[in-house]
Amino acid sequence: MGIYTELIRSTECKARIGVVHLPHGDVSTPAFMPVGTNGTVKGIYHDTIREMGYKLILANTYHLYLRPGLEVLESYGGLHNFSSWDKNILTDSGGFQVFSLSGLRKIKEEGVTFQSHIDGSKHIFTPEKVVNIQRVIGSDIAMCLDVCTPPKIEYKDAKEAWRITKLWAERSLEERKRLGESFKGNLFGIVQGNFFEDLRRESAMTLSDMDFPGIAIGGLSVGESKEEFRDMLSYTAEYVTEEKPRYVMGIGSPDYILDCVENGIDLFDCVLATRIARNGAAFTDDGLVTLKKAIHTFDERPLQDGCTCTCCREYSRGYLHHLIKCNEMLGGMLITEHNLHYLYSFVERIKEAIREDRFLEFKKNYLKRFYYK
């Protein structure tokens, strides 16, 4: 029996509602996951995230491996206990972070060697080691080590990256099997292939047929245009099995979330909501509100009418503008809470539209207002 149960499917497109069954509780999908790279979602208490309704957050293998390190995490019995988070945790393999190091890493069949961005020390990630790091973390969903490539590379380089990703996926599964009951989490494979359709198709079909309980679609939202993203997402999703939960990595703005849901994607994550909050930007139904602008100085309105977050219940746009201009910590914290609350509520509205079989109408009307200036 798999970890995914589909409950409702749109008759107009591939949008669906389901449940992912995980060790720390079921997760209703579609679901956005806040990113807590270092074991914390920046600028907000775990209790607040839990009260919003989130049951799955993301942490990062690469960063946790370097700090606090495996010895500390093992002594606490894993990240759940260490960080006092009793819901589910998904961990990225660290492949994207290592890819981002560029000149500080070297990829071979055995694994990837890299220098720490903290102190320059040298390390190696193998598929087996990455699975074991996530075992120590206590990940409810773990990711295979993969080779993430930038857009517009040559075909031969993309093909070689997919060959290594496939090899690493096979080795990761073998290590997961060897660990047995000592690893309680679910290991997902990651589709790669850059922006070449034949490689994407082969990667999606190959990984779907392997013994992974879920499939992630990687290599998107890495600098390509919005049109390229939509085209490659739609194409790739056609070849990813619908019997397992499907996860697109690095997606967190409302317009991109709608594209994902339309293509039958169940899970998505991004640092965007919290990162832009710290810089004074907030999600609303009328698009992004940039609170640094002087136009908000005397604005007594909340960020979003009808929003029940603390920020919208208690404070005006004018006060938030003041906090951001003064670089007060509270400004970023309040907008962080708003953005995460907004995205959770937004996904709930999407689910309601799917239940009522009017998702495409909801998407059209939402984007008409979101993009209107």
- What does the pLDDT average to over 49-67? 97
- The answer on pLDDT for 127 being more than 90 is yes
What does the pLDDT read at residue 153?
93
Percentage of the chain with pLDDT > 70?
Answer: 99
Annotation: CATH topology of 4-270: TIM Barrel (3.20.20)
Res. 94 pLDDT band, cuts 50 70 90: confident
Tell me whether strands 56-60 and 281-284 are parallel, antiparallel or unpaired. unpaired
pLDDT digits (tens, 9 = 90+) for 323-349: 999 999 999 999 999 999 999 999 999
Would you call the peptide bond into 68 cis, given omega within 30 degrees of 0 as the criterion? yes
The residue extents of the domains of the chain are: 4-270, 280-370
Look at residue 248 in the predicted model and tell me its pLDDT.
98
**pLDDT band (50, 70, 90) for residue 261:** very high
Looking at beta carbons, which pairs linking 72-78 to residues 24 or more positions away fall under 8 Å? 73/136, 73/137, 74/136, 77/138, 78/136, 78/137, 78/138
pLDDT digits (tens, 9 = 90+) for 344-359: 999 999 999 999 999 9
* 368 has pLDDT over 70: yes
The mean of the pLDDT values for the chain is 96
**What is the mean pLDDT of the segment spanning 88-108?**
82
Distance, in Å, from the CA atom of 310 to the CA atom of 331, rounded to the nearest integer, reads: 12
- Which residue is it, tokens 């598929």? 127
The pLDDT of 109-128, averaged and rounded, is: 92
Using the predicted structure, report yes or no on whether residue 236 has a pLDDT greater than 60.
yes
Which pLDDT belongs to residue 103? 67
**Of the candidate ranges 80-84, 225-229, 320-324, the one whose mean pLDDT is the lowest:** 225-229
Q: Yes or no: say if 18 and 5 are a contact pair by the CB < 8 Å rule.
A: yes
Q: What is the pLDDT of residues 160-196, one digit of tens each?
A: 999 999 999 999 999 999 999 999 999 999 999 999 9
In DSSP terms, 267 is beta-bridged to 31, 247
Residue 372: the pLDDT is 78
Q: Kindly indicate the confidence band of residue 32, based on its pLDDT and cuts at 50, 70 and 90.
A: very high
Characterize the bridge pairing of strands 267-270 and 141-143.
unpaired
The per-residue pLDDT for 373 is 57
Residue 102 has what pLDDT? 65
pLDDT at 114: 87
Inform me whether the pLDDT recorded for 125 exceeds 60.
yes
Annotated catalytic residue, options 47, 86, 92, 286:
92
What's the rounded mean pLDDT across residues 299-307?
Answer: 97
Alpha-carbon span 208 to 215, nearest angstrom = 7
Q: Is 285 a catalytic residue?
A: no
Name the active-site residue from 140, 259, 266, 269: 269
CA dist 223 → 32, 158, 250, 278 (Å): 21, 16, 11, 22
140 is catalytic: no
For residue 49, how far is the Cα from the chain centroid? 15
